[in-house]
Amino acid sequence: MKKSEDLNFNYLVICEKPDAAKRIAEALGKYQEYSEKGTNYYLVKNSDKRYIVCSALGHLYVVADPTNRRELYPVLDVEWLPIYKVDRKKAQLKDRIEIIANLAKRAEAYINACDFDLEGETIGYNILKYACGEKQNLALRAKFSTLTKDELQEAFKKAKVGLGGNLAEAGRARHILDFLYGINLSRAFSEAFYNANHRYRLISIGRVQGPTLSFLVNREIEIRSFVPLPYWGLEALVELKDGIRVVAKYEHDRIERLMLAKKIKEECEGKRGKVEKLKKSLINISPPTPFNTGDLQKEAYRLFGFSPSQTLSIAERLYLDALISYPRTSSQKLPPSINYERIMKSLAQLESYREDVSLLLKSQLKPNEGEKDDPAHPAIYPTGELPKRELDSRERKLYDLIVRRFFSVFGEPALRERILATLLVKDYLFKLSGRRTVKEGWIRFYREYTQMEDIPLPDMKEGEEVNFLRIDLLEKFESAPSRYNQASLLDKMEREGIGTKVTRAEIIQTLYERGYVEGESINVNDMGFSVYEAINSYIPQILSVEMTRNMEEKLESVERGKVRGEKVIEDSFEILLPILEKIKEKEIVIGQEIRKGLINMIFKQNLLGACPLCKKGNLTIIRSRRTHKRFVICTTKGCKASAPLPQRGFIKSTNQLCQECRWPIIYVKLSKIPWKLCININCPTKSKVKEVVKDGKV
């Protein structure tokens, strides 16, 4: 096999990921694949041009503190270093960087073919600058939104110098700004914890993480302080003509006084009334808009329970297979240049879409677009390429969602009829409501993903008599505000203008990883509360949505070429340095407050359930100071309840009791799949002798 120094080529093409590199090589012409120290690259011959197509594995260079001393802050001087020098787990990437550097020495010209966004531009810029020897301002830029052959070929024909210059500067500035805030604030809080408690613990916070945590804490406070007030409602079982029975509701959903509700019930129950008024109205429902990143994440969470980060990961795989367009976009627009008809005709090769495509092609293809736009990429759409491998269940779900959303935006408005019947009995009004679809329009293409149901009502006429057979008095209570889930929190961050379409999901995931929040319906635990309260009491600027939003706006100005990235970074020091000084002044009390939350969190995590012996205390996990082994004891002094535990693996309560002995059942996680275990060593289920098969007999 030829080595890199033996190859003859003109252009070195830098891609973001190996799959994208192979796609690009296939699009450019006939290629030969080479492998060197686990790194694949491709030689492509295309008329008089010869390309070497190679790839990164995401970021090969990252912002770092050159001193790498966690006790030192503030950190104001940072460097871009090869990732293997910062993260030991990335040691294998040293070979990849060296191979790219060796190829760069032989190249006559360079093409940046990384994803065209902040992250992709940053990745390509850094490789061209550091691995290729300051070629970032000389390289051509290929811009594409799909990895289809036609679009890639067109992108390389139109590649030009300087196409993503502002993106690169904005991307690098954002990385530096996020690093400076993250490393300094985290070191300051971690040092505060250490100096107050004489033990180290990483206390992480960042410029977007702080406001996001505050959204969750404020909602949690609302929920905990909410006092539900009672109110009453009335539902009547009504008999219409021909003996048809329906349930009607009193005209006011809330009756504040019980005596009034009882009075209405007594006066109306068993009485005859009539249809006072019958009103029918038609409502036009416009098609949905095309997916941008946030819309796709929210819809995938609503329908499939995919977290925002999971949705991005799945969409990335579909993009690398050339099945969908680039999934990181703010746009809700589909330009005609993507050729709607060609995409649909190609998708019609799949039987599940054939009938829908046939119907859509009979009308003019004009998408219902939203207001949001993105100069880098259009909305997310299927490319028309067909899967060349079997998609897994999650990929199939997301792909079908994207295809059917694409179809639906070209559909006609749906027409729904709303029917409202007002029933009069004595001097009181009850209401019946129904709805039905008169014209499906776009709903036909998105039916399984809509929540529109028909609620039919029997035929009625004004003046028609009805019998109020029974009236039920219902006591209700006001509902507390609901907790955020990952989709609604992402939507909140988007509306408040903090984070980006890519980083929002990462920030939410970080809050889970740092142990500040838990649960699908996001609950802030004691650790999260203590970090929040320490920040809010002494350095509330860290939680400021306005401060974070202003920084986002400045970074967007860098992207538009109106401000230099260095200026934004320098200005940020005026905010950051006073914050660090305040943390240093109050570090002992801050560290003590955070420790209280940590202790409470650990105590609650170690509780496994009520003690089945004394019935007073709780069973909790403790670790022996002498043997360091963990076991279970009761929190009640003198109670003899105890049990050994597995010494390896993560343990968590299931909130379930064993059906045999009524001791708690726990999860023990040693691998990806946890197993359940009753902690009672004397449980009858453990003393049962297993059946042994010998000679074909039990």
Q: What is the CATH number of the domain that holds 68?
A: 3.40.50.140
Structural domain contains residue 603:
no
Q: Is 375 exposed, middle or buried (0-12, 13-18, 19+ CB in 10 A)?
A: exposed
Q: In terms of pLDDT, which residue wins out, 397 or 603? A: 397
Could you tell me if 13 and 133 lie in one domain?
Answer: yes
Q: Report which of 508, 470, 469 is spatially closest to residue 487, judged by C-alpha positions.
A: 508
Could you tell me if 138 and 24 lie in one domain?
Answer: yes
Give residue 650's pLDDT: 79
DSSP-assigned letter for residue 482? P
pLDDT for 186-243, tens place per residue?
Answer: 999 999 998 998 888 888 899 999 999 999 999 999 998 898 899 999 999 999 888 8
Could you tell me if 249 and 121 lie in one domain?
Answer: no
- Residues above pLDDT 90, as percent of the chain: 70
Q: Which residues pair with 323 in a beta bridge?
A: none
Residue 662, domain extent = 611-687
Give residue 689's pLDDT: 37
Could you tell me if 435 and 509 lie in one domain?
Answer: no
Could you tell me if 304 and 344 lie in one domain?
Answer: yes
Rounded CA separation 435/415 (Å): 11
Domain boundary among 113, 131, 163: 163
Buried/exposed 307-320: b ≥16 CB within 10 Å, e otherwise: bbbbbbebbbbbbb
Q: Give the CA distances from residue 362 to residues 341, 357, 394, in Å, rounded to whole numbers and listed in that order.
A: 11, 9, 32
Is the pLDDT confidence value at 692 over 90? no
| CATH of residue 576 | 1.10.460.10
Q: Angle CA(457)–CA(463)–CA(467) in degrees, nearest 5? A: 65
Q: Are strands 109-112 and 428-439 parallel, antiparallel or unpaired?
A: unpaired
Q: Which residues pair with 30 in a beta bridge?
A: 45
Structural domain contains residue 696:
no
Give residue 328's pLDDT: 93
Structural domain contains residue 695:
no
Rounded CA separation 318/386 (Å): 11
Catalytic amino acids? 326
Rounded CA separation 101/97 (Å): 6
The two most distant CA atoms of the chain are separated, in Å, by: 98
Q: Taking all residues of the chain, what is their mean pLDDT, rounded to a whole number? A: 90
pLDDT for 1-26, tens place per residue?
Answer: 445 556 788 999 999 999 999 999 99
Lowest mean pLDDT among 174-178, 438-442, 451-455: 451-455
Could you tell me if 324 and 375 lie in one domain?
Answer: yes
Could you tell me if 397 and 428 lie in one domain?
Answer: no
Structural domain contains residue 424:
yes
Is the pLDDT confidence value at 698 over 50? no
Domain boundary among 436, 456, 477: 477
How many other β-carbons are positioned within 10 Å of the β-carbon of residue 327? 26
Q: Look at the chain and report how many structural domains it folds into.
A: 5
Is the pLDDT confidence value at 94 over 70? yes
pLDDT for 228-256, tens place per residue?
Answer: 899 999 999 999 888 899 999 999 999 99
Give residue 690's pLDDT: 37
Q: Is 113 exposed, middle or buried (0-12, 13-18, 19+ CB in 10 A)?
A: buried
Give residue 697's pLDDT: 39
| CATH of residue 247 | 2.70.20.10
Could you tell me if 266 and 298 lie in one domain?
Answer: no
Spatial neighbors of 453 by CB under 8 A, at least 6 apart, are: none
Could you tell me if 403 and 464 lie in one domain?
Answer: no
| CATH of residue 344 | 1.10.290.10
Structural domain contains residue 601:
no
Could you tell me if 74 and 136 lie in one domain?
Answer: yes
Rounded CA separation 310/80 (Å): 29
DSSP-assigned letter for residue 377? -
Domain boundary among 596, 623, 640: 596
Structural domain contains residue 133:
yes
Is the pLDDT confidence value at 695 over 70? no
Q: What average pLDDT does range 108-121 have in this prediction? A: 94
Percentage helix, strand, coil for the chain under 3-state DSSP, each rounded to 5: 40, 25, 35
Phi–psi pair at 424, nearest 5 degrees: -105, 130
Structural domain contains residue 212:
yes
Could you tell me if 12 and 157 lie in one domain?
Answer: yes
Structural domain contains residue 604:
no
Could you tell me if 37 and 74 lie in one domain?
Answer: yes
Rounded CA separation 125/110 (Å): 11
pLDDT for 15-66, tens place per residue?
Answer: 999 999 999 999 999 999 999 998 999 999 987 889 999 999 999 999 999 8
